[in-house]
Amino acid sequence: MLREKLIQCGAVRFGEFTLASGKKSSYYVDIKKASTKHEILEMMGEMLASHIRGDLIAGVELGAVPLAAITAVKAKKDYLIIRKEKKGYGTSKLIEGDYEEGMTVDIVEDVVTTGGSVLRAIRILRENGLVVNRVICVVDREEGGRENLEREGVELISLITASELLRER
């Protein structure tokens, strides 16, 4: 069902793309295209929430914020937003939201390729005394992210893998 919804809404596109990891790809998964559709966002939120075990949920701006918000509502947990960079004004925090040292955090992510951006988020959370053992993503592109996260002691759970998403109909 998720696969069909992602394809129908145009979240899977084919062509030549450069990914956040710098890798070139013949396809692109744009979860923002899906998360702006209330029906698909709600479906993803329910699916992500079923895997939540931590005290808090976290998402990296921008793509994972709607996912973190809907997952928090569905799981009845608070959530954190991890900024890509500190603002040059106000509180200049990298983490938005309330937390206490020692709390466990499940990170939700839209797409994991090599895991670079989520590894950065894990580092930021851990440096602030939080415990991160799991990442739950919508799509695992199966390009090393799972292995890179495992090396950091973090489990990757995906709602769908690239091979499932791209299989012939």
Q: Is residue 107 included in any domain, yes or no? A: yes
Q: What pLDDT is attached to residue 129?
A: 98
Predicted confidence at residue 23, as pLDDT, reads: 83
Work out how many domains the chain is built from and give that number.
1
Residue 92 pLDDT exceeds 70: no
> In one letter, which amino acid is 137?
C
Domain membership of residue 117 (yes or no) is: yes
**Which of 48, 167, 57 has the alpha carbon at shortest distance from 40?**
48
Give, to the nearest 10 degrees, the angle between helix 38-49 and helix 65-75.
Answer: 60
Asked if residue 80 is part of any domain, the answer here is yes
Per-residue three-class SS string for the chain: CHHHHHHHCCCEEEEEEECCCCCEEEEEECHHHHHCCHHHHHHHHHHHHCCCCCCEEEEECCCCHHHHHHHHHHHCCEEEEECCCCCCCCCCCCEECCCCCCCEEEEEEEEECCCHHHHHHHHHHHHCCCEEEEEEEEEECCCCHHHHHHHCCCEEEEEEEHHHHHCCC
Question: In the prediction, which pLDDT does 8 show?
Answer: 95
| 132 domain-assigned | yes
Is the CB of residue 77 less than 8 Å from the CB of residue 105?
no
Size of the chain in residues: 169
- Domain range spanning residue 68? 45-166
For residue 20, the model assigns a pLDDT of 79
Question: What whole-number distance in Å separates Cα of residue 7 and Cα of residue 109?
Answer: 19
In this structure, is residue 38 part of a structural domain?
A: no
Q: Is residue 169's pLDDT more than 60? A: no
145 and 20 Cβ atoms separated by less than 8 Å: no
CATH number for the domain that contains residue 62:
3.40.50.2020
Look at residue 115 and tell me if it is in a domain: yes
For residue 40, being part of any structural domain is answered with no
Section 35-64 average pLDDT:
97
Is 90's pLDDT higher than 60?
no
Which pTM value belongs to this model? 0.93
First to last CA, the chain: 13
68: how many CB neighbours lie within 10 A of its CB? 27
**Is 141 inside any structural domain?**
yes
